[in-house]
Structure 1
Amino acid sequence: MNLKNLNIGSLIKDSVSKNEIDISRICNFLNCTEKEVLEMYSSPSLDTEILLRWSKLLEYDFFRLYSQHLILYAPQSSMEYIQKKKVDSSLPAFRKNLYTKEIVE
């Protein structure tokens, strides 16, 4: 799997075929047409609400792929910059280096 250039639609399509999920079940679960599902398969990105539904249907955390991409390919922030930039936020704070490259691999 190439985490550098994610194409979420093709990854979802692979997961659907691997799990042998019928298109009618997918359409019912996502409340969409077969044409829309096929468009999602060819899409390099999806809306988070749709991706959440796919994650539930396929019982796989597709968001983790993006998290791993950030861990591996986002530039490391210097501690000095982080300390200067401390701003209160309503969002939870995460440590970027929670997983090392070896753990992800």
Structure 2
Amino acid sequence: MNIKSIHIGSLIRSKVEEHQISTERISRFLNRPEDEVERMYHAKSMDTDVLLKWCKLLKFDFFRFYTGHLILYAPQSRIDHEFCQNKNTLVFRKSIYTQEVKNFILDKIETGTMTAKDVMERYKIPKTTLYKWMKKI
């Protein structure tokens, strides 16, 4: 799974195949014609209301892929740091790394695509956090 480039339609199709749900049932649930359901499988993005219905039907949170993307490519810590400088306050954040994000990062390290130092610099993941993940492998 490439978190940088999300193709939501193909992710939905794979979950539908996994659960073996008929197109007819999906069509009734979404209140859309079957040909439109097929077009959704080819869509790179879709309306959030429709995506929410897919989440309910397949009992899977597809929004987590977008959350993972934001964590990796637009880290919250930059915003928190700017806020702290402007307001002279301290912000504590709970860990927001999903298992998909952890697996993505650890895969990069295991395959040699990136070093631990590269990961810390690019994604702004604290050293202690990264080494805890690596220790659990």
Q: Same fold (TM over 0.5)?
A: yes
Q: Which amino acid aligns with 2:36?
A: E
Q: Does 1:77 align with 2:73?
A: no
Mapped partners of 2:2, 2:40: distance in 1? 19
Q: Where does structure 2 lack aligned partners over 5 or more consecutive residues?
A: 88-92, 104-137
- State the partner residue of 1:38: 38
Count of matched residue pairs: 96
Q: Which has the higher contact order (CA 8 A, sep 6+)?
A: 1
- State the partner residue of 2:61: 61
- Please provide the CA RMSD for this pair: 2.4
Please point out which of 76, 97, 100 is paired with 1:99: 97
1:61-88 Cα deviation digits (max 9, x unpaired): 0011100111112155154422338xxx
Mapped partners of 1:47, 1:78: distance in 2? 27
Contact 1:68 1:104 in 2 (8 A): no
Q: TM (normalized to structure 2)? A: 0.62
Q: TM (normalized to structure 1)? A: 0.79
Which has the larger share of helix?
A: 2
Q: Which amino acid aligns with 1:99?
A: Y
Runs of 4+ in 1 over 4 A off after TM superposition: 100-103
Mapped partners of 1:21, 1:81: distance in 2? 47
Q: Which has the larger radius of gyration?
A: 2
Q: Which amino acid aligns with 2:97?
A: Y
- State the partner residue of 2:17: 17
Residue 53 of structure 2 aligns to a residue whose secondary structure is helix
Contact 2:72 2:101 in 1 (8 A): no
1:80–1:13: structure 2 CA closer, same or farther, 3 Å change rule?
closer
1:104: how far off?
2.8
Q: Which amino acid aligns with 2:31?
A: N
Residue 98 of structure 1 aligns to a residue whose secondary structure is coil
Mapped partners of 2:38, 2:5: distance in 1? 20
